[in-house]
Chains A and B, each alone.
Chain A
Amino acid sequence: KAGVTQTPRYLIKTRGQQVTLSCSPISGHRSVSWYQQTPGQGLQFLFEYFSETQRNKGNFPGRFSGRQFSNSRSEMNVSTLELGDSALYLCASSWSGDLDTEAFFGQGTRLTVV
């Protein structure tokens, strides 16, 4: 059974540009969550999608957005990139996102903003 797949693995962008990251969940999983990981702030929740609807959103500016498609694949977009957006972006999938359904992470996309 394939795990969570994130593409691309590495990305370098210039300040002011926008970027789209992709996440393919484990087959059958309907909940997809996104996290930002930085050395200073650690792992922070961005948003969660379930059945193509954003179910929860973390405390990030509106430049961070996402969507989920009917096959549960998800994308996140960051517009007007800032240097501080450099981070490892992680996607996690679970069957339903409920309390007793475990979340599995992808390898992440390492975004560097220069």
Chain B
Amino acid sequence: GQQLNQSPQSMFIQEGEDVSMNCTSSSIFNTWLWYKQDPGEGPVLLIALYKAGELTSNGRLTAQFGITRKDSFLNISASIPSDVGIYFCAGPDFNYGGSQGNLIFGKGTKLSVKP
């Protein structure tokens, strides 16, 4: 079945550094989503990607939809302490209908930022 492999599992970086994380799958996705979750809160949508090759920015965040449709990347530039949290990639789960009403998630990348 579909699986999303997210890496790295965790990152410890210095404030001001750039961050890169990625998500891969053996299946093709037609939508890639990136969420951030703070402790005790629900995931917050950061960026949505709908087209292969698409590059989209949201402030210091940039995400790309891989050309093969089997991967996606999220970059954070000039990290700040409030970037701390868990970042998830997600996509429609075709085992259960394949829409944004039923998403499959990666296991997350936990980001820690040292001031």
Contact = CB atoms under 8 A, between A and B. Distances in A.
A4 interface: yes
B45 A58 contact: no
Contact of A103 (B45, B50, B88, B93): B45
Contacts of B98: 99
Interface residues of B, number: 29
A4 B45 CA distance: 13
Given A42-B108, A99-B30, A106 B96 contact: no
Given A42-B108, A58-B102, A100-B50, A48 B97 contact: yes
Contact of B92 (A43, A92, A99, A106): A99
A45 B100 contact: no
Given A99-B31, A100-B50, A106 B42 contact: yes
Interface in B43-84: 43-45, 48, 50
Interface centre among B48, B98, B100, B104 (most CB of A within 10 A): B100
B101 interface: yes
Interface in A93-112: 94, 97-108, 110
A105 B92 CA distance: 15
B43 A56 contact: no
Contacts of B103: 33, 35, 43, 45, 92, 103
Given A56-B97, A99-B31, 4 more contacts: A4-B42, A31-B100, A45-B96, A107-B41
Interface of B: 30-31, 33, 35, 40-45, 48, 50, 88, 90, 92-93, 96-108
